[in-house]
Amino acid sequence: MRKLLAAAAVFCMAATHVSAQSPIPRPPGPPVALCTDLAIAGWNGSRSPPGAPLADNEVAIHFQVRNNGPHTYTAPDENKQWISLVVTTPSGDQQIGVNVLPPSGSGAVSLARGASWRGHVRATLPTGVTRRAHPPVRLQINYAPASAGWSAPVDCNITNNQRSVVLR
């Protein structure tokens, strides 16, 4: 009986030693997202944008759009994505200014991970809206609807496609 107990003890110690050296398989990590994430990374009201001086009923917003996603954003041309300035009025949202992305683009578009586009949206204020007294205003990234040879990219995070702004 003693020999049997001793053999069982030696077997258990050997099994413990082997299992301590064997790595425990871990579950796979989260899947890598196959998406881009155009995000409004910053904005600032501007009283002196490039071009002609602002009229009394005009505003300009300087913006920065960054690709926060893990992949390069690509599109066939600059008309597939744009940033707009939107005023929320009692009768609904009203787009008052727009700029294609990239602002100086023509032809195929590419924005690497972590890279940014910067530009201005210039807009004429609707009647009754002023820089000091205005309803909610936001910058918003927009994508063209699907068409032959084009479908909007998968956006990793659509919550950063809009930012509230204050007119100056």
DSSP letters spanning 128-165: T--SSS---EEEEEEEPPPBTTB-PPPBS-GGGGEEEE
The CATH number that domain 38-165 falls under is 2.60.40.10
**pTM, full prediction:** 0.77
Q: What is residue 46's predicted lDDT score, i.e. its pLDDT?
A: 86
What is the phi/psi pair of residue 50, to 5°? -60, 150
What is the phi/psi pair of residue 15, to 5°? -65, -40
Q: What is residue 19's predicted lDDT score, i.e. its pLDDT?
A: 46
Total Cβ atoms within 10 A of residue 47: 10
Q: Chain centroid to CA 124: how far?
A: 26
Q: Which of 91, 81, 89 is nearest to 142 (CA)?
A: 81
pLDDT score of 114 more than 90: yes
Distances (CA, A) of 142 to 48, 85, 134, 138: 25, 11, 23, 12
**Residue 21 is encoded by which pair of tokens?**
């050296």
Q: Which of 165, 17, 5, 168 is nearest to 86 (CA)?
A: 165
Instruction: Tell me which of 53-62, 78-87, 144-153 is least confident.
Output: 144-153
Ranges 61-70, 98-107, 123-132, most confident? 61-70
Instruction: Tell me which of 71-75, 98-102, 146-150, 160-164 is least confident.
Output: 146-150
Amino acid identity at 59? V
Buried-state track 144-166, b at ≥16 Cβ within 10 A, e below 16 = eeeeeeeeebebbeeebbebebe
Task: Please report which confidence band the pLDDT of residue 106 belongs to, taking 50, 70 and 90 as the band edges.
Answer: confident
Bridge partner residues of 112 (DSSP): none
Ranges 14-28, 29-43, 113-127, 145-159, most confident? 113-127
Average pLDDT score over the chain? 84
Tens of pLDDT, residues 13-48: 554 454 445 556 655 555 556 789 999 999 999 888
